[in-house]
C-alpha cells in the first residue's frame, strides 16, 4: 500500500447499540452493473449503468467501459460488488449526492483480469480524489492485493463535505504506459460528527493537545473484534455498514502460542455511557482476551498488540475500554499502565474511575509520532501492563494476597484509522507523493504547531476560577487573566471572550487557525484554547511588559527611551512583514494598533490578536480581498473604508498611525525633546508619513518599512556615537543618510521636510 502522508491511525475499543436511520444517507453503487442486486450480507446495491450518479456527458466518462471479472477468480468472494467493474484509460468522475458533513466513503476493488479488456490488472495504477481530498495516489490494485494476500480490497475513508454533492474522480497514472483506472463498488454513508472527530488529542511526549478539524479525512486501517468472530457489515450498528475483523487479531498479539484466551461476557446488560451508542456493535464488548491464571506467563509477558505502520508519520490512537469483570467495580480495583509505541500514555489507568462503573464503555485519545531510520514499516505497539495480583476488598494492590485477576478484562476491540490533516496535505490538486517526504525535523516542527486543548477545569485551576485579582487586561472582547499551567511552572495570558462580545465564534476560530500555524519571534504564540460549556478561551504566552499602549498613555511607567521605541517598532514591523511575505498565503492582520503590540520581559515586540485577519493568495492575480470593513477607529485605512478592498497596504497604513503614536504620545513629547537625532527624526517621519499616503499603491511594503526603521536606528546610534566621542554629528545628505549605509527610499518620492501641511486623518 502506498502511504498517504501524515497519517494518524486510530485504535479504539468500543461499544454501541445503534442509532436511528432518520436522514441517514446510504448509497451503495455497483460499478459496471445494470439494475439492483443484494449482496450475501443483505447489503442492497444499485448499478451505475444509466445512473445519474455517473453522467456520461461529464468529461471523459463516456470513454469508460464496463466489464465482468473472470468468474473462476471469484471463488470464495461475494460477487457483489466484485463481479463487475468500470474501467478506463481516461479520467472518469462520479457525482454523489451527500449530506453536508462527515461521510464514510468506501472504494471496492478486485484484483483479477476482466473480460474483453485489453490491459492486464498489473497496469491498474491510478489516483482517486474525493472533493478536495486526494485519497489514493499512484495506487496499484495488483500490488496491494498481493501484499494483502487477497483479491478483494476495501479502502474506507471518513470525508467531510461542505456541499450537497461529492465528486469522486479516478485518474490513471501518467507514469506507466497503458495504465488505467478501475472501480468495482462505491459506498457513501453519512455519519455523526463526533464518531471519529475528537475535540482534543493528547500528543505523547509533546505535552500539547490538538483537535482534528472538519478539514481532516481519515482512512481505516484495522478494525478488530478482540476475542470474537468477524462482524459483517449488516451486523454493524448505526447503519454504517462497517466490518470488524475477528480472530485474526491473534496476528497482532505478541504473546506466544494460544496463551491468550478469549473471554466471553455473560448475559449481563451493558450500561449506557457518556459516549454515543453508535460507536460499535454490542457484540464487540462481549468479548475480550485473557492471559488466564498462568503466573509465569503473566510475569514474563504483557498484553501487547503490534500493528505495521509506515515510518515518518504521526499517528492518532483511540483506545476504548469496558471493564467486563463483575468483581472489579470500584475505583482502584484495577489500575494499570498503557504504553503506545513504547511511550507512556497512562501511568495509572483506571477504567472504573474514567467510566463510573463496570460494564460501562469509555475511550481515550492519543497521538504519537513514528520514526524508524532502519525500518520503513515499524510496528506501532499498544501494551497494557496490568499488575498480577488484585485485592478486591481493600481496593489496593497487595501481591502477598495471591489473588489473580484476568489481565485483559478491559480490552474489547481495536480499530486503526489513518487521518489526513488538511493543512499539511489535503490541498486541491496536490499529489500525495509530493507530501511524502517527511523528516524527523519536520515532524518536530509540525508537532510544535499543533494547538493545545485545555479543559475548562484546567483553565479555572490556572486562574483560580477567574478571580478578579488575576485580571491583567480588559477589552470589549472580555478579560485577560494571568494564569499558571503545567503545575504552576509556566505563566500564561488567558483571554476569556464574553458571550456578548463582538468578537464571536468566527474570530475565535480564526485566531486559533492563524496562530496555531505561525511561528515567528515577533508574533505572540498561541499555546492553546478551550471551547467548553459555551466558553471561548484563548491561552497565550505571557507578555511581562504588557502592551505598547500601556507604555504610551496614562501610565506610571517611566517614558521609553527613543532607541527602545525604535527597536519595538522594528520588531512589530518584522512580524507584519512575515505575515505579508513569509507564509504561503498573504495574511492581512486588519487590526494593527498599539494595544495589539505586546512586549515580553526583554522588550521584544510581538504582534497579537488575529481575530480579524484575512488570507489572500500570494499570486499577483489577486491583489486584494473584498470584505466588509472591520478594524479599530483611527487605524482603519481610508482607501479600504472607501472601496471595501483589503490589501496588505491596509496594515501598512495602520502601522503608520502606530509610528505617529510612538513619536507623539502626549506624555513623552517633552521627554523626547532633544534626544532624537535630527537625521533619525527626518528618516522616521518620512516612513510614518509614507505609510499613511491616501493611495495604497504609493505606500511602502512592510519590508521597506523594516529597512527604513533599521536605517533610522543606525542614524540615531551614529549620532549618539559622534557625541560620545566629543565631536559634532556628521552632516547628513538630503535623505538623512549621514554616512550610514541606509538603502531605504521613500516610495512616494517625498521626504519629511518637504511636507508642510499634513492633512488630519
Annotated binding site for ATP: 495
Peptide bond into 81 cis (omega under 30): yes
Q: Which of 310, 591, 651, 665 is catalytic?
A: 591
In DSSP notation, 75-132 reads TTS-HHHHTEEEEESS-EEEEEE--SEEEEEEEEEE-S-BTT--S-GGGBEEEEEETT
In DSSP notation, 612-662 reads T-EEE-SSTT---EE----S-TTTS-HHHHHH-EE-HHHHHHHHHHHHHHH
757 CB-near residues (< 8 Å, 6+ apart): none
Burial tier of 65 (Cβ tally within 10 Å: 0-12, 13-18, 19+):
middle
HEC profile of 345-401: EEEEECHHHHHCCCCCEEEEEEEEEECCCCCCCCEEEEEEECCCECECCCCECCHHH
In DSSP notation, 169-190 reads EEEE-TTSTT-BEEESEEEEEE
- How far is it, in rounded angstroms, from Cα 315 to Cα 306? 14
Task: Tell me the Ramachandran region of residue 702: left when phi exceeds 0, alpha when psi lies from -120 to 50, beta otherwise.
Answer: alpha
Phi, psi of 80, rounded to the nearest 5 degrees: -105, 120
Which residue reads 460528527 in cell numbers? 193
Phi, psi of 273, rounded to the nearest 5 degrees: -145, 180
The per-residue b/e assignment along 413-445, b for 16 or more CB within 10 angstroms, e otherwise, is: bbbbbbbbbbebbbeeebebbebbebeeeebee
Phi, psi of 504, rounded to the nearest 5 degrees: -95, -155
Annotated binding site: 495
Do 466 and 553 form a contact (C-beta atoms < 8 A)?
no
CA nearest 68: which of 86, 41, 55? Answer: 86
156 bridge partner residues: 106
Cα→Cα distances 8→213, 313, 315, 669, Å: 13, 8, 3, 57
Is 591 marked active-site? yes
- How far is it, in rounded angstroms, from Cα 200 to Cα 381? 22
Helix-then-strand count for the chain, H and E: 15, 37
169 bridge partner residues: 93, 129
- How far is it, in rounded angstroms, from Cα 698 to Cα 696? 5
- How far is it, in rounded angstroms, from Cα 383 to Cα 301? 10
Task: Tell me the Ramachandran region of residue 405: left when phi exceeds 0, alpha when psi lies from -120 to 50, beta otherwise.
Answer: beta
68 CB-near residues (< 8 Å, 6+ apart): 32, 83, 84, 85, 114, 115
Do 209 and 200 form a contact (C-beta atoms < 8 A)?
yes
Do 30 and 187 form a contact (C-beta atoms < 8 A)?
no
- How far is it, in rounded angstroms, from Cα 432 to Cα 454? 33
- How far is it, in rounded angstroms, from Cα 649 to Cα 581? 12
Please give the positions annotated as active site.
Answer: 591
Amino acid at each position: 500500500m502506498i502511504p498517504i502522508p501524515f497519517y494518524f491511525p486510530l485504535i479504539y475499543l468500543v461499544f454501541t447499540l445503534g442509532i436511528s436511520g432518520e436522514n441517514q444517507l446510504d448509497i451503495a453503487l455497483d460499478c459496471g452493473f445494470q439494475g439492483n442486486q443484494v449482496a450475501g450480507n443483505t447489503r442492497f446495491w444499485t448499478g451505475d449503468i444509466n445512473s445519474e450518479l455517473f453522467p456520461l456527458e461529464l468529461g471523459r466518462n463516456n470513454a469508460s467501459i464496463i466489464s465482468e471479472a473472470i468468474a473462476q477468480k471469484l471463488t470464495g468472494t461475494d460477487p457483489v460488488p466484485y463481479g463487475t467493474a468500470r474501467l478506463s484509460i481516461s479520467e472518469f468522475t462520479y457525482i454523489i449526492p451527500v449530506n453536508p458533513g462527515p461521510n464514510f466513503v468506501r472504494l471496492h476493488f478486485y484484483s483479477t483480469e476482466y473480460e474483453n479488456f485489453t490491459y492486464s490488472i498489473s497496469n491498474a495504477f491510478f489516483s482517486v480524489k474525493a472533493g478536495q481530498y486526494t485519497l489514493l495516489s499512484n495506487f496499484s490494485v495488483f500490488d496491494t492485493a498481493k501484499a494483502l494476500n487477497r483479491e478483494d480490497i476495501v479502502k474506507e475513508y471518513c470525508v467531510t463535505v461542505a456541499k450537497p454533492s461529492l465528486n469522486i474522480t479516478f485518474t490513471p497514472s501518467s507514469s506507466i504506459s497503458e495504465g488505467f483506472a478501475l472501480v468495482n463498488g462505491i459506498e457513501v454513508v453519512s455519519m455523526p460528527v463526533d464518531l471519529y472527530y475528537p475535540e482534543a488529542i493528547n500528543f505523547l511526549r509533546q505535552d500539547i493537545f490538538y483537535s482534528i478539524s472538519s478539514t481532516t479525512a481519515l482512512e481505516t486501517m484495522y478494525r478488530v473484534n478482540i476475542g470474537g468472530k468477524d462482524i459483517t457489515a449488516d451486523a454493524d450498528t448505526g447503519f454504517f455498514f462497517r466490518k470488524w475483523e475477528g480472530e485474526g487479531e491473534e496476528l497482532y498479539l505478541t504473546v506466544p502460542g494460544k496463551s491468550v484466551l478469549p473471554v466471553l461476557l455473560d448475559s449481563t446488560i451493558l450500561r449506557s455511557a457518556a459516549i454515543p451508542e453508535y460507536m460499535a456493535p454490542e457484540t464487540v464488548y462481549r468479548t475480550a482476551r485473557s492471559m488466564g491464571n498462568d503466573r509465569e506467563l503473566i510475569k514474563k509477558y504483557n498484553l501487547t498488540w503490534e500493528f505495521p505502520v509506515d515510518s515518518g508519520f504521526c499517528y492518532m490512537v483511540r483506545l476504548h475500554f469496558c471493564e467486563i469483570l463483575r468483581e472489579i467495580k470500584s475505583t482502584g480495583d484495577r489500575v494499570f499502565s498503557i504504553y503506545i509505541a513504547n511511550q507512556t500514555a497512562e501511568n495509572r489507568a483506571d477504567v472504573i474511575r474514567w467510566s463510573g462503573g463496570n460494564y460501562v464503555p469509555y475511550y481515550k485519545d492519543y497521538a504519537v509520532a513514528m520514526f524508524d531510520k532502519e525500518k520503513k514499516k515499524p510496528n506501532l505497539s499498544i501494551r497494557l501492563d496490568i499488575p498480577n495480583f488484585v485485592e478486591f476488598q481493600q481496593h489496593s494492590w497487595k501481591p502477598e494476597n495471591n489473588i489473580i485477576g484476568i489481565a485483559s478484562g478491559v480490552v474489547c476491540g481495536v480499530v486503526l484509522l489513518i487521518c489526513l490533516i488538511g493543512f499539511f496535505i489535503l490541498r486541491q490538486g496536490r499529489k500525495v507523493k509530493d507530501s511524502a517526504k517527511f523528516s524527523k525535523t519536520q515532524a518536530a516542527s509540525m508537532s510544535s504547531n499543533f494547538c493545545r486543548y485545555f479543559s475548562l477545569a484546567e483553565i479555572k485551576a490556572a486562574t483560580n476560577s477567574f478571580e478578579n485579582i488575576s485580571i491583567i487586561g480588559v477589552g470589549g472582547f472580555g478579560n485577560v487573566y494571568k494564569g499558571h499551567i503545567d503545575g504552576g511552572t509556566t505563566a500564561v495570558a488567558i483571554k476569556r471572550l464574553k458571550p456578548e462580545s463582538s468578537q464571536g465564534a468566527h474570530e475565535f476560530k480564526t485566531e486559533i487557525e492563524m496562530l496555531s500555524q505561525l511561528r515567528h519571534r515577533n508574533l505572540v504564540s498561541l499555546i492553546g484554547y478551550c471551547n467548553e460549556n459555551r466558553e471561548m478561551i484563548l491561552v497565550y504566552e505571557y507578555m511581562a511588559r504588557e502592551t505598547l499602549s500601556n507604555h504610551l498613555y496614562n501610565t506610571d511607567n517611566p517614558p521609553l527611551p527613543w532607541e527602545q521605541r525604535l527597536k519595538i517598532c522594528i520588531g512589530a514591523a518584522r512580524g507584519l512583514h512575515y505575515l505579508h511575505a513569509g507564509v504561503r498565503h498573504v495574511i492581512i492582520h486588519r487590526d494593527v494598533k498599539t494595544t495589539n503590540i505586546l512586549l515580553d520581559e526583554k522588550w521584544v515586540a510581538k504582534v497579537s490578536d488575529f481575530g480579524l485577519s484575512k488570507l489572500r493568495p500570494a499570486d499577483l492575480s489577486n491583489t486584494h480581498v473584498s470584505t466588509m470593513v472591520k478594524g479599530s477607529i483611527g487605524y482603519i485605512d481610508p482607501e479600504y473604508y472607501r472601496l471595501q478592498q483589503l490589501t496588505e497596504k491596509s496594515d501598512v497604513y495602520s502601522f503608520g498611525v502606530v509610528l505617529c503614536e510612538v513619536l507623539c504620545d502626549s506624555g513623552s513629547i517633552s521627554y523626547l525633546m532633544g534626544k532624537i537625532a535630527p537625521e533619525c527624526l527626518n528618516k522616521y517621519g518620512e516612513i510614518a508619513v509614507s505609510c499613511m499616503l491616501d493611495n495604497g499603491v504609493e505606500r511602502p511594503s512592510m519590508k521597506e518599512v523594516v529597512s527604513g526603521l533599521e536605517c533610522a536606528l543606525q542614524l540615531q546610534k551614529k549620532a549618539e556615537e559622534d557625541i560620545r566621542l566629543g565631536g559634532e554629528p556628521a552632516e547628513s545628505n538630503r535623505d538623512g543618510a549621514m554616512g550610514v549605509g541606509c538603502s531605504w527610499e521613500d516610495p512616494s518620492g517625498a521626504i519629511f521636510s518637504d511636507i508642510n501641511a499634513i492633512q488630519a486623518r
